Amino acid sequence: MCTVCDKRFKGKRQLNVHKGIHTGEIHTCSRCDKTFSSQSTLCRHMNIHTSKYKCSVCGKCCVSSLELAVHRQSHSGEKLFECTVCNKRFTRSGYLVVHSRIHSREKPYICYICDKAFSQSSYLNTHIRVHTGDKPYKCSLCNKSFTEPSSLQQHKRRAHSNSRPYECFFCGKLFKTNKELKQHVRIHNDAKPYSCRHCSGRFTWPEQLKTHLLKSHNEGTWFTCNICQKKFTLKGNLKQHLLRHEDVKPYVCSECPLYSS
C-alpha cells in the first residue's frame, strides 16, 4: 500500500513505480522527450526507438517481445474474445475488458487528488496532468503543448496538414484521425455501444446517452444560460448558445466577406 494515497498494488515493483507520482521523480527519453516515472519503464520505451521489436507486417515498434506477439494477432484478423452483452469481438482480452466497462459503468482508476474515477489507467494518467499542469508534448510548428502524444498528432493533422489518411470503406469519406473514422462508421453499421442502466435504451454516441439519462431519468446536471435561463444537456451546446447573446460570429466564409453565427 502507498503510504501517501493508500492506493494498493499487487507487487512491490508496481508500488515503486507509482511512488514516482508523489516524489516527482521523472525519467525523460532523449529521443522524444516523453517522460516516465521509473528507469525500467524508460528502458522498455527505448526499444521503440531502436526498433528492437519491430512488426514485419506494418513496421510498428513495440517495447517488448510479448507486446509484439500480441500485436501480430491484429494482422491475423482473428477476434477470439467476444462481449457477452453486445457480441462485439476483439483481438485481445484487454480490449474486451476495457470495452465491457461501457456496459458495467465500472471505473476502477481513481485520481488520488480529486477522487474522479476513470475506466482506463491511461485516462487517469492523462487526467493527473490537469492537476500538475504538465504538457510534455510540444508541437514543433507552433509550440503549442499537449498532455498526451495522440493529442499532439491530431493537432498536427488538423492545424498544420490537409492530410486525411483514414477512409471509410462504406462511403469513401476521408478523415484526419482514426477516432473520427470510427465514430463515422457507426452511422453505417448502426452500432449502439452505449446502454442505459435504467432501461433498455441503447445509443450510438455518449452524448445521446447523457441526454437520455438527464431527460428520462433525471440523472446528471443541466447547464443553464445565466442570461435567458435556457437549459442545455451538454456544456458545449451552452457555449454555442452564449455566442448568440454576445453577437459573436467566429465562422467566416472563404469565398465572400459574409459571416455566420
Predicted confidence (pLDDT) per residue in 210-227, tens digit: 899 999 998 888 889 998
C-alpha cell at 205: 454516441
**Integer Cα distance of 174 and 58 in angstroms:** 21
β pairing state of 137-138 and 145-146: antiparallel
| Res 212: pLDDT | 92
Distances from the Cα of 164 to the Cα of 42, 96, 101, 158, 184, angstroms: 32, 29, 31, 9, 14
pLDDT at 261: 44
What grid cell was written down for 259? Answer: 459571416
CB atoms < 10 A from the CB of 97, how many? 14
- What is the reported pLDDT for 112? 80
Count the helix, strand and coil residues of the chain and give each as a percent rounded to the nearest 5: 40, 15, 45
What confidence tens digit (pLDDT) does each residue in 154-169 have? 788 788 888 888 888 8
Domains along the chain? 1-76 (3.30.160.60), 194-260 (3.30.160.60)
Is 50 exceeded by the pLDDT of residue 203?
Answer: yes
